[in-house]
Amino acid sequence: MEKIRVYKFEKHRYYGEITDFIDRYVTENYRKEMYRLLSRTYLLGIEDYRDHRGTCIRFPGATRGFIELDRNDIITEIVFYEDTCFGTKNLPKLYDRKIENDIKQFVGKKLIFEE
């Protein structure tokens, strides 16, 4: 089983291979802002819900999507929110839409949160 590790940076911010991968799809408009503010995509810690587990995908300013996990922390689904990721009439596009397909390579891998 391939493992994807994310490492705690601040209280609830985790960074690693998967967040670095997501950041490769940040559009040019946001990329300039990323460097200016030293911001990047991060994950929150794992949350347990009634029927599943998961973590939020965040980029400063909003939750951008979620990663759903099974009880063994295997990634079962990765979703990006249309309005906060791909632009609306009021919000610019954060990520290139190609990420929706390319991120699927992480499905089926174990997500490990390192303290």
How far is residue 98's CA from residue 36's CA, in Å, rounded to a whole number? 25
Residues of the chain with pLDDT under 70: 34-37
> Which 3 state secondary structure label does DSSP give 36?
helix
> Looking at residue 35, what is its pLDDT?
67
> What pLDDT, on a 0 to 100 scale, did the predictor assign at position 89?
74
User: Whose structure tokens read 């063994």?
Assistant: 72
Cβ within 8 Å of residue 28, ≥6 positions away: none
CB atoms within 10 A of CB 85: 23
pTM of the entire structure? 0.89
Q: Which of 33, 43, 37 is nearest to 12 (CA)?
A: 43
Name the token pair of 108: 């089926």
Q: What is the pLDDT of residue 36?
A: 65
pLDDT tens-digit readout, 39-63 = 889 999 888 877 778 999 999 888 9
The whole-number pLDDT of residue 55 equals 94
Residue 78, phi then psi, degrees to nearest 5: -130, 125
Residue 97, pLDDT score: 95
